[in-house]
Chains A and B, each alone.
Chain A
Amino acid sequence: MSSLSLTTPLALFGMPAKGAPVARTNNVIVGATTTNTAVPDFELTQAAANGDMAAFETLYERHYRRVYSLCLRMLANPTEAEDLTQEVFVQLFRKLGSFRGESQFTTWLHRLTVNQVLMHFRKKGVKLEKTTEEGDELNEIVQVGTDRPNSMPVVDRIALDDAIAQLPPGYRSVFVLHDVEGYEHEEIGKLLGCSVGTSKSQLHKARMKLRGLLTKKS
Chain B
Amino acid sequence: MECRVVINSLSDYLDGSLAAQEFQSIEAHLTQCPPCNAVRVDLTQITLAAKELPLRTPSRALWIRIQNEIEIETAVPGKVEEKKVSWWKRVSERNFTFTLPQLAGASMLAFSLMVFGMYHALHRDPQVASQASSDTANPILPMEKDLQFKIQQKASQLNTRRVSWNPEIRTVYDNHLQRIDNSLSHVRQSWVTTRDTDQQKLLMDLYNEKLRLMEDFERLGK
Contacts and interface: CB of A to CB of B under 8 A. Distances in A.
Given A142-B3, A179-B50, A180-B53, A149 B34 contact: yes
Nearest to A81: B58
B183 interface: yes
Interface stretch (B66-74, B119-127, B158-166, B214-222): B66-74
Interface string B174-196: 01001100110011001000001
A83 B62 CA distance: 9
Contact of A211 (B46, B48, B70, B199): B46
21 contacts: A10-B63, A13-B183, A56-B70, A60-B66, A66-B55, A68-B55, A68-B58, A69-B56, A73-B53, A86-B69, A89-B66, A93-B73, A94-B73, A152-B45, A155-B45, A160-B46, A161-B53, A179-B50, A200-B17, A204-B11, A210-B46
Interface in B22-59: 34-39, 42-43, 45-59
A90 B36 contact: no
Interface in A156-199: 156-157, 160-161, 175, 179-180, 182
Tell me the dominant secondary structure on chain B's binding face. helix
A64 B57 CA distance: 8
Interface string A31-63: 000000000000000000001010011001000
Contact of A152 (B42, B47, B52): B42
A22 B71 contact: yes
A94 B80 contact: yes
A5 B36 CA distance: 47
A87 to B, nearest CB: 9
B50 A160 contact: yes
Interface residues of B, number: 58
Interface of A: 4-6, 8-10, 12-15, 17-22, 51, 53, 56-57, 60, 64-66, 68-69, 72-73, 78, 81-83, 85-86, 89-90, 93-94, 138-139, 142, 145-146, 149-152, 154-157, 160-161, 175, 179-180, 182, 200, 203-204, 207-208, 210-211, 214-215
Given A142-B3, A145-B36, A155-B49, A21 B12 contact: no
Given A17-B71, A19-B175, A65-B56, A157 B49 contact: yes
A57 B62 CA distance: 12
Nearest to B14: A207
A154 B175 CA distance: 52
Contacts of A17: 71, 175, 178-179, 182
Contacts of B3: 142, 146
Contacts of A9: 60, 187, 198-199, 202
B100 interface: no
Contacts of A6: 60
B10 interface: yes
Contact of A207 (B43, B55, B183): B43
B16 to A, nearest CB: 12
A211 B43 contact: yes
B39 A90 contact: no
Nearest to B72: A21
A155 B53 contact: no
Contact of A65 (B42, B57, B63): B57
Contact of A15 (B11, B50, B182): B182
B71 A65 contact: no
A152 B196 CA distance: 40
Contacts of A13: 63-64, 67, 183
Given A4-B198, A8-B190, A152-B38, 10 more contacts: A14-B67, A17-B182, A53-B67, A82-B58, A89-B66, A142-B4, A149-B34, A155-B46, A179-B51, A207-B11
